[in-house]
Copies of this chain bind each other. A is one copy, B any other.
């Protein structure tokens, strides 16, 4: 009798702690940031559509270059050219459709922290003075340099380049499909993330050439179209909301991610890294 009562009490305590999913589902309207439609690219392939959210706060010149390429139709007829396991998927604009380049883009690998609300995590970050979040993005900071940059978490999208730091032009983009390759942080212009449909890319066959490039064009997944959501007819625009990482709701979400109270867990971690937080995103329709 006593044992049963104890069990019931335990069950009550467990039920009382909201899970990350509970917090996400109950998040008030004020806890979300609506993404501007011109910061969203809808990409169509034979596998379906995926949505790329751009990061103009972090890589403004690269985001402008990507927008210009999308509007010029350069990605229509492009392809996924590279899939490297536990690393990246890379897609490229159609070479013949890339307008001649008039100048190089300056590297946008980090930016001043000033003017941004950085929400740090309490647990240490192996790669930076602090890991945390800015405007819904996983980020990290350098205390001395007072700079901030986006972390290469799963789904984040960067601009491919050669060895020269300024020769990426936005026509080759990669998305992370493995453990966060944080050694790329501050070495690449991180220009966005895939907010829906990444499973269409992460489940592609891996390329068998060096770095996961496909051997033949026949292996590549076609990019049939890429369009800015702001250029879609009004009735066809998906709405994307990202949880405001400066909100008290997000703080509760992070605590719940770090201290999983589901009955499954025997020992909550008590910590979480920024890439495992997985900032909630709501997409309609």
Contact = CB atoms under 8 A, between A and B. Distances in A.
A269 B199 contact: no
Interface string A230-274: 000000000000000000000000000110100111111101110
A178 B205 contact: no
22 contacts: A83-B203, A85-B198, A85-B199, A85-B202, A86-B154, A86-B198, A86-B202, A121-B126, A124-B125, A124-B126, A126-B271, A126-B273, A127-B272, A165-B266, A181-B276, A182-B273, A182-B276, A183-B260, A183-B269, A186-B266, A199-B206, A203-B204
A180 interface: yes
A163 interface: yes
Interface in A175-234: 178-183, 185-187, 198-199, 202-206
B187 A265 contact: yes
Contact of A107 (B127, B182, B265, B266): B266
Contacts of A127: 123, 269, 271-273
Contacts of A124: 124-126
A255 B199 CA distance: 33
Contacts of A121: 126
Q: Which 9 residue pairs across A and B have the least CB separation, nearest first?
A: A124-B124, A123-B126, A85-B199, A199-B206, A126-B273, A183-B269, A154-B179, A163-B263, A186-B267
A59 to B, nearest CB: 15
Interface of A: 83, 85-86, 107, 109, 121, 123-127, 131, 153-155, 163, 165, 178-183, 185-187, 198-199, 202-206, 257-258, 260, 263-269, 271-273, 275-276
Contact of A203 (B182, B183, B203): B203
Contacts of A272: 126-127, 183
Most chain B CB within a 10 A radius of its CB, from A109, A126, A187, A269: A126
A86 B273 contact: no
Nearest to A123: B126
A163 B264 contact: yes
A154 B275 CA distance: 14
Contacts of A126: 121, 123-126, 131, 271-273
